[in-house]
Amino acid sequence: MQRAFTFFIIVLLTETSFGQLPKNTMKKMGQNPIVFLDSVECEISYLLTINPFDISNISIVKPKKAKTLLSDKGVDGAIYVTTVKAAKTIYWKYLSSKSDEYRRIFTSPQADTTAQYILNGEALSDSAAPGSLFLKNNKNFKTINVIDKQEGKYLMDNVVPKRYIVIITAKRPKGLVKQKSTT
């Protein structure tokens, strides 16, 4: 069971945009970590029913910290899985609270299909945006600027094919593993 569990978590971590280093973290996990899917406790077997492309982020909490957060339930550690849908809702609510213009243009989490997100100067793909943006909070957020290309002020039509450009600056969240470049 431990071997199957370890393999499953490693596969999930490699399918997501960000995660903790599985080698070091998995060695410290107990036999029965508590699992949360979109902040709701679930059985680990339920995760097998989820399409890996629907997962935005996986956070692993080591047993010592999990016990502090969850008392005796966290004695073996905790795994928090966030779906793309939940991540979009989280970052949409947060960015809407930081920018009236963002809230006016994007009236729901699903309304941002016309936006190209740029985080700290790096364009995010549609699949990477939820995993990167839902981690923004008051501790790491700096600024947001929404540019409407139809206003004609910016000559970026060949660079960004979407109508809006959402530029966000933020500090990197503590403990986040930086992806290695494949180029």
Span 101-156, pLDDT tens digits: 999 999 999 999 999 999 998 989 888 888 889 889 999 999 999 998 877 655 55
Span 50-75, pLDDT tens digits: 999 999 998 889 999 999 999 999 99
Domain around 118 = 86-170
150 plus 90 within the same structural domain: yes
What is the reported pTM?
A: 0.75
144 plus 69 within the same structural domain: no
Is residue 159 a part of any domain in this protein? yes
24 plus 75 within the same structural domain: yes
Task: State how far the Cα of 42 lies from the Cα of 48, in Å rounded to an integer.
Answer: 12
Q: Cα dihedral sign for 32, 13, 84, 5?
A: negative
> How many structural domains are present in the chain?
2
50 plus 106 within the same structural domain: no
